[in-house]
Amino acid sequence: MNRSTIWHPFTQHALEPPMARIASTDGAYLIDEAGDRILDAISSWWVITHGHRHPKIMAAIRDATEAYDQIIFAEFSHAPAERLAEGLLEFAPPGLKHVFYSDSGSTAVEVAVKMALGYFHNRHELRDRVVVIEGSYHGDTIGTMSMGDRGVFNAAYEPLLFGVDRLPFPEAVSGQETLYRFEGLCRTGRVAALLIEPLVLGAGGMRIYEAGVLAALKGIAERNGCLLIADEVMTGWGRTGTMFASEQAGITPDILCTSKGLTGGAVPLAATLATAEIFEAHLSTDRRKTFFHSSSYTANPIACAAAVANLDIWRNEPVLGRIRGIETAHRRNLARYSADARFAHVRQAGTIAALNLVVPEDGYLAEVGPRMRRLFRERGLLIRPLGNVLYLMPPYCVTSQEIDDAYEAIDEVASLVLKDAA
C-alpha cells in the first residue's frame, strides 16, 4: 500500500504503518476494507454515544440537507439551532440560560474563557487569572494548550502560551490541599474563573476525583465572586453516569462546555452554555461590549439537526438503562483486578473504566502504549492506551458480552507485554 499524503493527528508517521482504511461503521463496530470488524471500545475518541450511524441521527442529517447548508449565524438564525438551544437548556443543570455555538471542544472552551474575561472586563472589575487543575487537558488551540498540562504535547509552542494558576489534583477524598490552594488564590481578588473537567481528567490519564470536591470548589468560587467553567466536552452525555458530570456534585456551573456526544458523535458541533448574568454583562448599547467571537461554521444547520435528533433519542430511548448496563459490566470485570499485581489504580466513573499497567516506564510516552494498541488491533479491538493507562469508554449500544471480551483481551495483552518486558 502506498503511503497516504494525509498527516494524521497524534501520529508519529516514522513509527506507524500505513493507516488501515475504514469502509463503514455499524453500531459499536468499525469495518475495514477487508471486512474485518473492530470493536470501537473508546467510542472513536469519546464522541460516539449511542453507536455509529444511529438511524434517527442519520435520517435527521439527510432531511436537513434537503433544506440547508451553512448560513451566516451573525446575521440570521434557523429552526435547528433554536430547537437545539431550547433542548440543551432543558437537559442542562438549572440556571444556564444562553447557548453559544462553535465547532469543537477546544473552541467551546476558548469561548468559555473569553466569556468569563469579558464578563469582568465589561463590569470594570480587574479579574484576569484563570485557575486549572494540574494534569488537565482542555484542547489543542493556543488558548486551551495554555490552560492544559505542560509537557511533551506543547513544549514546542511554549513561547506562545500564557500563564495560568494551577491547583494540585485532588488525590485525597476530601481534596483539602486542592481546596486550600484555591481559597488562597481567590483571596487575591484576581481570579476570573476556575476551569475544570468535572469528576474525570480525560487525556490527563482518566484520573477520577470525588463529586464532593467539585461541589466544594464551586462553593469557594461563589463566596469569592469568581466563575466556575465546567469542561464537559468528554464527561457530558452520560459518560460518567449522568447527562452531565456536574449533576453529581449538585452544582450549576456558571459556564458549561459541550461537544463530542452533542450530535451523538456523527458530525462536529460544540456549544457553550452560560447564565443570564454572563450574557447580560455583554448586553449593551455600547458595541464595545459585544462578545467578539465567531467561526465560519457556527451553528451549522445540518449539525444542529443531528444534535436535535440526539436529544430526541435521550428523551425516547432507554439510554440511561443502557448506561447502567455498561456500569454493571465494568464493575463485574474490574473486580478481578483489585488484587492483581499487574495493575494499579483500578477505577470507574459511569461508563468510563481505567487501570494502570504496572511497568517501570509510565506516562503518555511509555513504549507499552503503542505495543498494547497494536496487540488490541490484532484482536479486533480499538483500544488506545494513554501510555500505561488502559481504559474503556464504549458506545452505549455495546453488549455485556462485548465488554467481557474486551476485558479478556486486556488480560491477555497485559500478560504478553509484561512477559516481553521481563
User: Which cell numbers hold the place of 302?
Assistant: 445540518
pLDDT at 174: 87
CB 205 within 8 A of CB 388: no
Return the beta strands (E) in 287-365 as ranges.
Answer: 343-349, 352-357
3-class state of residue 377 by DSSP: helix
Q: Determine the pLDDT at residue 171.
A: 87
Give me 150's grid cell. 505542560
Spell out the residues 6+ positions from residue 131 whose beta carbon is closer than 8 angstroms to its own.
164, 165, 166, 167, 182, 185, 191, 193, 194, 195
For helices 55-65 and 301-316, give the axis angle rounded to 10 degrees. Answer: 150
CA 217 to CA 182: how far, in whole Å? 8
Which residues have a Cβ under 8 Å from the Cβ of 389 and sit 6 or more positions away? Answer: 205, 206, 354, 355, 356, 357
What are the φ and ψ backbone dihedral angles of 412, each rounded to 5 degrees? -65, -45
- C-alpha dist (Å) from residue 33 to 9, 36, 37, 328, 339: 21, 7, 10, 34, 41
Measured from the Cβ of residue 92, the count of other Cβ atoms closer than 10 Å reads 23
Pair 323, 331: CB distance under 8 Å: no
Burial class from Cβ neighbours inside 10 Å (0-12, 13-18, 19+) for residue 201 reads buried
CA distance 357 to 139: 26
CATH 3.40.640.10 in the chain: give the residue spans: 57-316
Q: What cell does 189 get?
A: 481578588
Pairing type for strands 207-208 and 381-382 reads unpaired
CA neighbor of 341 nearest in space, from 366, 353, 359: 359
Strand order in the sheet with 270-275: 96-102, 270-275, 255-258, 227-231, 191-196, 129-133, 165-167
Element (H, E) at 132: strand 129-133
Condensed to tens digits (0 to 9), the pLDDT of residues 264-315 reads 999 999 999 999 999 999 999 999 999 999 999 999 999 999 999 999 999 9
Q: How many CB atoms lie within 10 A of CB 65?
A: 12
| Spatial strand order in the sheet of 389-392 | 343-349, 352-357, 389-392
Q: Where in the chain is the domain with CATH 3.90.1150.10?
A: 318-421
Residue 53 neighbours by CB under 8 Å, 6+ apart:
25, 26, 27, 266
Please report, in tens digits, the pLDDT of each residue of the chain (422 residues total): 567 899 999 999 999 999 999 999 999 999 999 999 999 999 999 999 999 999 999 999 999 999 999 999 999 999 999 999 999 999 999 999 999 999 999 999 999 999 999 999 999 999 999 999 999 999 999 999 999 999 888 999 999 999 999 999 998 888 999 999 999 999 999 999 999 999 999 999 999 999 999 999 999 999 999 999 999 999 999 999 999 999 999 999 999 999 999 999 999 999 999 999 999 999 999 999 999 999 999 999 999 999 999 999 999 999 999 999 999 999 999 999 989 999 999 999 999 999 999 999 888 888 999 999 999 999 999 999 999 999 999 999 999 999 999 999 999 999 999 988 76
The SS3 assignment for 346 reads strand
Cell numbers found for residue 390? 488502559
User: Looking at domain 318-421, which of 3.90.1150.10, 3.40.50.970, 3.40.50.2020, 3.40.50.720 is its CATH number?
Assistant: 3.90.1150.10
- Computed on alpha carbons and rounded to an integer, the radius of gyration of the chain in Å comes to 22
With CA atoms as reference, report the closest residue to 390 among 379, 401, 378, 382. 382
Distance CA 349, CA 245 (A): 10
Q: Which amino acid does the sequence have at 179? A: L
Residue 29, C-alpha cell as written in the block: 463496530
CATH fold group of domain 57-316? Aspartate Aminotransferase; domain 2 (3.40.640)
Residue 95 has a pLDDT of: 98
Residue 200 to residue 213: CA distance in whole angstroms: 12
